[in-house]
Amino acid sequence: MPQRRRKEGKENMIKVGIIGSTGYAGQELVRILLGHKDAEIVWYGSRSYIDKRYADVYRNMFELVDAACMDDNMEELSKRADVIFTATPQGFLASAVSEDILGRSRIIDLSADFRIKDVAVYEKWYNMEHKSPQFIKEAVYGLCEVNREKIKDARLIANPGCYPTCSVLSVYPLVKEGYLDLSTLIIDAKSGTSGAGRGAKVDNLYCEVNENIKAYGVTTHRHTPEIEEQLSIAAGSPVILSFTPHLVPMNRGILVTAYASLSKRADYEELKAVYDHYYAGERFVRVLERNICPETRFVEGSNYVDVNFRIDERTNRVVMMGAMDNLVKGAAGQAVQNMNLMFGLPECEGLELVPMVP
Contacts with a second copy in 66-105 (CB under 8 A)? none
Catalytic residue among 69, 162, 207, 293: 162
Size of the site for a second copy (CB under 8 A): 81
User: Are the CB atoms for 137 and 117 separated by under 8 Å?
Assistant: yes
The CA–CA distances, whole Å, from 189 to 150, 214, 245 equal 28, 11, 5
**Cα 242 to the center of its chain, rounded Å:** 20
CB of 154 to a second copy, least distance (A): 28
From candidates 241, 262, 307, 331, binder to a second copy by CB under 8 A: 241
From candidates 43, 85, 163, 259, binder to a second copy by CB under 8 A: 259
Q: Kindly tell me which of 101 and 175 has the beta carbon lying closer to a second copy.
A: 175
- 165: nearest Cα among 284, 29, 19, 26: 284
Tell me if 210 contacts a second copy by CB under 8 A. yes
Q: Kindly tell me which of 98 and 212 has the beta carbon lying closer to a second copy.
A: 212
| C-alpha span between 233 and 65 (Å, rounded) | 42
3-state secondary structure of 232: helix
From candidates 8, 10, 137, 358, binder to a second copy by CB under 8 A: 358
- 93: nearest Cα among 55, 64, 133, 125: 133
User: Are the CB atoms for 28 and 21 separated by under 8 Å?
Assistant: no
Q: List, in sequence order, every residue forming a beta bridge with 311; answer none if it has no partner.
A: 318
CB of 162 to a second copy, least distance (A): 14
CB of 347 to a second copy, least distance (A): 15
H or E element in which residue 24 lies: helix 24-33
Q: List, in sequence order, every residue forming a beta bridge with 322; answer none if it has no partner.
A: 256, 307
| C-alpha span between 38 and 13 (Å, rounded) | 5
From the list 82-90, 103-111, 137-145, 252-260, the region that binds a second copy by CB under 8 A is: 252-260
**Touching a second copy, residues 133-172 (CB under 8 A):** none
From candidates 11, 202, 267, 269, binder to a second copy by CB under 8 A: 202
293 among known catalytic residues: no
Tell me if 205 contacts a second copy by CB under 8 A. yes
| C-alpha span between 273 and 278 (Å, rounded) | 9
| C-alpha span between 255 and 294 (Å, rounded) | 8
From the list 23-31, 72-80, 89-97, 329-337, the region that binds a second copy by CB under 8 A is: 23-31
Q: Which residues of 337-353 are buried (b: 16+ CB within 10 A; e: fewer)?
A: bbbbbbbebebebbbeb
Q: Kindly tell me which of 92 and 284 has the beta carbon lying closer to a second copy.
A: 284
**Touching a second copy, residues 264-323 (CB under 8 A):** 286, 288, 292-302, 306, 310-312, 314-315, 317, 319, 321, 323
From candidates 13, 68, 119, 250, binder to a second copy by CB under 8 A: 250
| C-alpha span between 205 and 209 (Å, rounded) | 6
Tell me if 1 contacts a second copy by CB under 8 A. no
Q: Kindly tell me which of 213 and 273 has the beta carbon lying closer to a second copy.
A: 213
Phi-psi domain of 289 (left: phi exceeds 0; alpha: psi -120 through 50; beta: other): beta
Tell me if 229 contacts a second copy by CB under 8 A. no
Tell me if 356 contacts a second copy by CB under 8 A. yes
Tell me if 52 contacts a second copy by CB under 8 A. no
CB neighbours of residue 212 within 10 Å: 10
From candidates 252, 278, 305, 347, binder to a second copy by CB under 8 A: 252
Q: Kindly tell me which of 71 and 295 has the beta carbon lying closer to a second copy.
A: 295
User: Are the CB atoms for 319 and 293 separated by under 8 Å?
Assistant: no
**Touching a second copy, residues 322-341 (CB under 8 A):** 323
From candidates 207, 237, 269, 281, binder to a second copy by CB under 8 A: 207
| C-alpha span between 100 and 126 (Å, rounded) | 27
Q: Kindly tell me which of 102 and 319 has the beta carbon lying closer to a second copy.
A: 319
Active centre residues (catalytic): 162
